[in-house]
Structure 1
Amino acid sequence: MKLRRFRYLFLMFFGVAIAAVIGAIAMFISPPNAEAFQAAIAPSNPQLGDTISVTLQMEQPADAVSNAPVVVMNRQQYPAFRIGQNRWRAFIPTTPLDRPGKQRIEVVGEGRSQKFDLKLRDRRFPIQDIWMDDNTASIEGTDREFDRVDAFKRLVTPQKFWQGALLRPNEGPVTSGFGVRRNYNGVFAKDYYHRGVDYAGEVGSAVVAPAAGQVRLVGRERDGFRIHGNVVGLDHGQGVESIFLHLSRIDVREGDFVQAGQTVGGVGSTGATTGPHLHWGFYVNGLAVNPVPWRSQSIE
């Protein structure tokens, strides 16, 4: 009896000890049950063309580069930037070519990941008929033009230069809004959407910077910019850029830093156009998004 009792007590003690050790190891290698971080997603009911802002409140401070959280949607990774104490923000661009419906955003940080679901609402974009003469329709861009413009759109610099809502870049009336689909000479352009807003300002009227930024692109029609014409590209920082097409003149140089409201050029009709106007393209992480929400509110 005593031997059986001894064996029982020994096994019970040994089992408790092993369980304690295993529990300690599990606590060491496994994350606690509490959420690693909190996320705020805005707007809460986005539609095609909107910029989705994901703001994160982390538990622990992270290095600005090596330990920064990562935001993923549709297998595309988007950078997050520090905006405060343990606070980070990432922008997810959406376009008229995206599929509306349920979307899943995954946030990876502090060795863990969390998933958030949202609904991307559909939006109907008008269809515009554009008729071009043979000379305009036959214009072809150059490799130099496309390479430089594409490189500009891919810029993601760590600094944030814009502050508050964006300014209107020209006082002319809007003749073509963002996202418009088009028939060119009667043929529907399936993979096309208007990647900006057109303003029918008077020739030579001022084109101003909608926000502070650095001039990172200057191209001229005489140097092979046959499609864009005279063009200026402004880097507002953190993957946010403005590009101005078809200018009659350019008032800045590459490397200049401009303030919101500063004149960068004049309205014109250089490049492939059907008449004088300003085309303002607004890009977030390489994709053209609707700039209207950025003008109506401060997106920080």
Structure 2
Amino acid sequence: MTIKDCTKNSENKLLCLNITGDKPYRRVINLFIGIVASVPITLTLPADALQVKVTPSNPELGDTLSVIINLDNPDNGSNPKVAIGEKTYPTFAIAPNKYRAFVPTTPVETAGIRKLKISGDGQVQNLAVTVRNRKFPVQRITLPPGKSADGATEYELKRVAAFKALQTPQKYWNGSFGKPNTGRISTIYGVRRYYNGKFANDYYHRGVDYAGAAGSPVVAPAAGRVALVGRVSQGFRVHGNVVGIDHGQGVVSIFMHLSRINVKEGDIVKTGQLIGAVGSTGASTGPHLHWGLYVNGQAIDPVPWRFNGVE
């Protein structure tokens, strides 16, 4: 025999079951219904352990994307991972359970969507970031004989490439970067160039030029460790007398064409500390300072680092 057995729960709502069988079974079922109806049930869902924030919110070519990752339960001792396609970017701890990766963009890239894959805490999050296009000016440079940008020595290229590839876990800088020289800016970041009438494919001005007077001070825009000192006498034909500062976590500064060098490799420098003087050594048409800021091996626009800062 089948009957409908009903009872009310704590909210005075009617609960019914179709029951087949004798009365003893019905009494057991009624008891079960009464227990279920009178005991509140709480479902606890796991918290989202992978929280990601990307800044700036509206980037353009030349900007540095800062990917901040918060992990609730980092239990395997490994840093989270950030990738775009087959390219991965190192992440570094910046606070307890908080990590960051920098993704550089450059003028020779194509504007559009960057698909980021972030992995950590056993979870994967996919984000799409749109990088806007940006127009860069074109400049024509005439270099005298012996000053060609193609005249770099193998030793010079190897030393500079190794310096730009540094990814030191320690973070030396704090807050916004300062100006390395008080002269006016003569060439902005990202300018495309013709050298002696020939367009330099895949080249862009990888920094900011300051038209400081010869011998005027060059100072560290942010704290760091001096990781490169090179001189014309050692074969630095293009960079000239050069100083490179490692700011940590994949961020490095290079200062070119110096007339004087006041630091040595291994020195720890503070913001504003004297490191050299403006000159015209190497591939240079006149006294000026070239400051290049590199992130994970790519030259990015230093201006946002000066005015916005990256903690």
TM-score, normalised by the number of residues in structure 1: 0.86
Identity %: 54
Q: Which runs of 4+ in 1 moved over 3 A?
A: 32-36
Counterpart position of 1:40: 53
Q: Which residue of 2 aligns with 1:148?
A: 159
**Residue of structure 1 equivalent to 2:74:** 61
The structure carrying a bigger helix percent of its residues is 1
Counterpart Cα distance in 2 of 1:62 and 1:209:
38
- 1:21-71 Cα deviation digits (max 9, x unpaired): xxxxxxxxxxx87544111100011100000001111121356xx511011
SS in 1 for 2:239: coil
Q: Please state whether the residue corresponding to 2:146 is helix, strand or coil.
A: helix
Does residue 290 of structure 1 match 2:294?
Answer: no
Q: Are residue 237 (structure 1) and residue 248 (structure 2) matched?
A: yes
Letter in 1 for 2:286: G
- From 283, 286, 298, the equivalent of 1:272 is 283
Q: Is this contact kept in 1: 2:149–2:238, CA < 8 A?
A: no
Partner of 2:41: none
- Checking the alignment, whether the CA contact within 8 Å between 1:248 and 1:268 is kept in structure 2 is yes
Rate the CA distance shift 1:62–1:221 in 2: closer, same or farther, 3 A.
Answer: farther
C-alpha displacement of 1:292:
0.1
Letter in 1 for 2:283: A
1:117 to 2:135 alignment = no
| One-letter amino acid matched to 1:60 | N
Aligned counterpart, 1:189: 200
Q: Which residue of 1 aligns with 2:8?
A: none
Q: What secondary structure does 2:90 align onto? A: strand
Aligned to 1:173: 184
Mark the CA change 1:231 to 1:62 in structure 2 (over 3 Å): closer, same or farther. farther
Q: Which moved more, 1:222-231 or 1:183-192?
A: 183-192
How much has 1:155 moved relative to structure 2? 0.4
Paired with 1:265 and 1:72, the residues of 2 have a C-alpha distance of 38
Separation in 1 of the partners of 2:83 and 2:203? 25
Query: Counterpart in 2 of 1:49?
Result: 62
Change in 2 beyond 3 A, CA 1:138/1:252: closer
Tell me: CA distance 1:128–1:236, structure 2 relative to 1, closer, same or farther (3 Å): same
Which whole-Å CA distance do the structure 2 matches of 1:114 and 1:197 have between them?
A: 36
Paired residues of 1:42 and 1:54 also in contact (CA < 8 A): yes
Q: Which moved more, 1:180-189 or 1:119-128?
A: 180-189
Structure showing greater Rg: 2
Gaps of 5+ in 1: 6-31
The equivalent position to 2:219 in structure 1, one of 208, 233, 247, is: 208
Check the 8 A contact 1:139/1:272 in 2, yes or no.
no
1:17-32 equivalence runs, <5 A:
none
Q: RMSD across aligned C-alpha pairs, in angstroms?
A: 1.6
Range with bigger deviation, 102-111 or 282-291 = 102-111
